[in-house]
Chain A
Amino acid sequence: QVQLQESGPGLVKPSETLSLTCTVSGGSISRYYWSWIRQPPGKGLEWIGYIYDTVSNKYNPSLKSRVSISVDTSKNQFSLKLSSVTAADTAVYYCARDLAAGTFDSWGQGTPVTVSP
């Protein structure tokens, strides 16, 4: 059973870059889609983007200009960078495995990130 664990700073200053890492255990990171999803306080889920097998990315059009997702297969990790953050980026950030076409079968526990001076 694959397990995912997010890590990274819980507090980011406005205009700076949010950086998170997801460590995958119990399975290879290769040949799967790996996504980041976020949930602002008291609100619904929002898909941020995915990386596939080191060769392909896709991002939410509303975030595309600020998002980058990369993978380190040697560490079985993938990472999220979101630049120029504002208070609207305050959320719990989840990493998840996507079987295909937005079917998220395994999730990390989530990590809260607050954007504040």
Chain B
Amino acid sequence: QSALTQPRSVSGSPGQSVTISCTGTSSDIGGYNSVSWYQQYPGKAPKFMIYDVSKRPSGVPDRFSGSKSGNTASLTISGLQAEDEADYYCCSYAGSYTFAVFGGGTKLTVL
């Protein structure tokens, strides 16, 4: 069982927006602004998409955005494209003892 809780799957049609939630506790998401998101295609390594809750690394389209409220972080993908179909994982800093915890992953299907 993963430390952070994500929905197993979400779906949307091209052009629509989808939001993936990531729920933790006050010991991880709620306690720090170090939430990151990763996109993973089957058989490939994860790709760095969002960091520090809402910042985008260079090269990541601005269709991808992140936010946080309390113990829940969210990744929103607007203007869905077929190429966005992938697995998405959240990760949060969890203090000096546990350090980093991941969510179980969400499979995004573009209908």
Contact = CB atoms under 8 A, between A and B. Distances in A.
Interface of A: 35, 43-47, 50, 58, 60-61, 94, 98-110
B85 to A, nearest CB: 17
B36 A102 contact: yes
Interface in B84-111: 89, 91-94, 96-105
B12 to A, nearest CB: 22
A25 to B, nearest CB: 16
Contact of A50 (B96, B99, B101): B99
Interface string B52-67: 1000010000000000
Interface residues of B, number: 28
Contacts of A110: 45
Contacts of A104: 36, 38, 46, 48, 91
Contacts of B98: 60-61
19 contacts: A44-B2, A44-B102, A44-B103, A47-B99, A60-B98, A61-B97, A94-B46, A101-B34, A101-B93, A102-B34, A102-B93, A102-B94, A103-B51, A103-B52, A103-B91, A104-B46, A104-B48, A105-B48, A105-B51
Nearest to B33: A101
A105 B57 contact: yes
